[in-house]
Amino acid sequence: MTERFRPGDRVLTSRADPVHHTRLPRYARGAAGTVVELEGRYPLPDDRSRGLPAELQPVYAVRFPAAELFGAGDHQVTLALWESYLRPLSEEVARDE
């Protein structure tokens, strides 16, 4: 299985508010970050927690400016996020930032 993202890629996290277990915390929804590295492949907890077949999926370390998540702070926050929580941040959106 190939990875959709590479280190340095700009990504946007999902805005979805699922009724089930997820490892994307609420404070990091809809946030723009940068892929740091591939951490490995693990079953998607959203599926596995519901007894669904969970295929291995790339998990990335993704770095966010604290201000992007909390509106303040000059430090960085790095989260381990499954590939399906992420989509590419389009160049248009990136230019608007």
Partner 1 sequence: MSRINDVGGMEGFPLAGQELNEPPFHADWEAHVFAMNAALIRRGCYNLDEFRDAIERMPPQEYLAASYYERWFHAITALLVDKGVLTAQEVSGD
Binding residues for partner 1, rule: CB under 8 A, are 17, 19-21, 25-27, 43, 45, 48-51, 69-70
| Residue placing its CB nearer to partner 1 in the complex, 1 or 19 | 19
Smallest gap from Cβ 18 to partner 1, in A, equals: 8
CB burial string 56-94: b at 16+ within 10 A, e below: ebbbbbbebbeebbeeeeeeebebebbbebbeebeeeee
| Residue placing its CB nearer to partner 1 in the complex, 16 or 94 | 16
- Torsion angles phi and psi, residue 8, rounded to 5: 95, -20
Q: What is the dihedral of CA 54, 8, 65, 93, to 10 degrees?
A: -90
Smallest gap from Cβ 17 to partner 1, in A, equals: 6
Smallest gap from Cβ 54 to partner 1, in A, equals: 8
| Residue placing its CB nearer to partner 1 in the complex, 7 or 70 | 70
